[in-house]
Amino acid sequence: MTELVGDIPIPRLREQLADGGLGFDLGAARVRVRSDVPQLADAVSSVYRHFPIEKPEGFFDVTIEVQRVSGLRRHFHPQIRFVVDGDAPFEPFPATVHLPLMEWGMNFALTERCLHYLLLHSGSVERDGVGIVLPAIPGSGKSTLTAALVSSGRYRLLSDEFGVLSLESGRLLPMLRPIALKNASIDVIRRRFPDAVIGPVFLATRKGDVAHVAPRPASVEARQRSVQPGIVLFPQFEAGAPARLETIDPTLAFSKLTVNSFNYELLGAPAFDLVARMVGSCTLRRLVFGNLGEAIDVIDRLVADRVAGLPDRID
């Protein structure tokens, strides 16, 4: 029987991280994690709790490590470093931000290694067979909205950070990881969805206060199931604004998707063709929202219209 991360006693989890490592199947990629930072095991146990542990042997797209920095600073100002396939691309971080460093580093490594997909900087979820891509720049409320959709129990999480698209089929693939929340969003999700599993809060990091929402079991179990993208929704949080949908010109949508891609220019013509197909076949909208409940209701109606094959419209 496959063991889940959350079922393993913390001492044994620490040993596995420090020895051969833990293997994770994220859907579109496989990642192996190693670490000699004892506290990281507690955090991983919380936010990866529903993931089966893969054997650390064999092929992985990325092997990452979070290591303690040796020397006198280890005792007075403990630091850690992120290592991917033997290379340390960043300066050391304070040892107190172990999980955020692991997640930020994993984002970096996946964008560097998974070049056989088109990678959008986007949240991605699914409901009723409709894939929803949520491209946005930082500060747009993308992660908060993604967390709310998934925590409502009505949407399957594919990714908080990536819209992963197959160049051949055009389908949207999961790159399943915890959802990263920052600052006020942490309490917003905690209050509205008390059953959401939120890991430890890391205070005053380089991105402010950071915490992570664990993916639900159903999303983990479906991490190998792709979906056809049907809606491209550009979210924009505005405090106090009623939720509303706005039309977006296909040419502008094309431009915004390519700008919000990690590797569009590198992939060339196949990426151009794929984005053009998305713009031509998907419902394109901008969502302005100031209330998560209203935003979820609006997206529910958008999905229902798409499933029913109703004409593209705005309420």
Cα dist. 8→48, 64, 223 in Å? 11, 21, 21
Residue 54 has φ and ψ, to the nearest 5°, of: -90, 150
Residue 196 resides in a domain: yes
Looking at the structure, tell me whether residues 90 and 130 fall in a common domain: no
pLDDT band at 72 (very low <50, low <70, confident <90, very high): low
Looking at the structure, tell me whether residues 283 and 142 fall in a common domain: yes
Segment 245-278, tens digit of pLDDT: 999 999 999 999 999 999 999 999 999 999 999 9
Cα dist. 245→108, 232, 280, 295 in Å? 32, 12, 19, 9
Rounded average pLDDT over 85-111: 94
Residue 188 resides in a domain: yes
pLDDT band at 70 (very low <50, low <70, confident <90, very high): confident
Task: Give the per-residue pLDDT at 266.
Answer: 96
Looking at the structure, tell me whether residues 101 and 121 fall in a common domain: no
Of the residues 71, 86, 113, the one at which a domain ends: 113
Looking at the structure, tell me whether residues 108 and 121 fall in a common domain: no
Residue 83 resides in a domain: yes
Looking at the structure, tell me whether residues 157 and 277 fall in a common domain: yes
Tell me the three state secondary structure of residue 30. strand
Looking at the structure, tell me whether residues 21 and 163 fall in a common domain: no
Q: Rounded to whole angstroms, how far apart are CA atoms 105 and 113?
A: 12
Is the separation of the CB atoms in 2 and 47 below 8 Å? no
pLDDT band at 308 (very low <50, low <70, confident <90, very high): very high
Residue 315 resides in a domain: no
Looking at the structure, tell me whether residues 102 and 88 fall in a common domain: yes
Residue 94 resides in a domain: yes
DSSP for 179-207, written as a single string: EEEETHHHHHHHHH-TTS-B---EEEEBT
For residue 59, which amino acid is it? F
Of the residues 86, 113, 140, the one at which a domain ends: 113
Chain centroid to Cα 123, Å, comes to: 6
Domain carrying residue 264: 117-308
Tell me the three state secondary structure of residue 90. coil
pLDDT band at 130 (very low <50, low <70, confident <90, very high): very high
Task: Give the per-residue pLDDT at 1.
Answer: 62
Looking at the structure, tell me whether residues 133 and 215 fall in a common domain: yes
Enter the tokens of residue 198: 């939120």
Residue 174 resides in a domain: yes
Task: Give the per-residue pLDDT at 276.
Answer: 97
Nearest to 65 by CA among 39, 113, 26, 31: 31
Looking at the structure, tell me whether residues 51 and 157 fall in a common domain: no
Enter the tokens of residue 261: 């891609």
Looking at the structure, tell me whether residues 53 and 130 fall in a common domain: no
Task: Give the per-residue pLDDT at 181.
Answer: 97
Residue 314 resides in a domain: no
Work out the angle between the directed axes of helices 98-113 and 38-47 (0-180°, nearest 10): 70
Q: Are strands 62-68 and 93-94 parallel, antiparallel or unpaired?
A: unpaired
* Distance in Å from the first CA to the final CA of the chain: 50
Residue with the two structure tokens 């991605």: 124
Q: Rounded to whole angstroms, how far apart are CA atoms 232 and 153?
A: 21
Looking at the structure, tell me whether residues 93 and 160 fall in a common domain: no
Is the separation of the CB atoms in 225 and 159 below 8 Å? no
Q: What is the pTM of this model?
A: 0.94
Instruction: Please tell me the total count of domains within the chain.
Output: 2
Element counts in the chain: helices (H) and strands (E):
11, 16
Looking at the structure, tell me whether residues 77 and 191 fall in a common domain: no
Segment 151-209, tens digit of pLDDT: 999 999 999 999 999 999 999 999 999 999 999 999 999 999 999 999 999 999 999 99
Q: Rounded to whole angstroms, how far apart are CA atoms 265 and 164?
A: 15
* 3-state DSSP of 228-270: CEEEEEEEEECCCCCCEEEECCHHHHHHHHHHCECCHHHHCHH
Residue 313 resides in a domain: no
Of the residues 93, 113, 133, the one at which a domain ends: 113
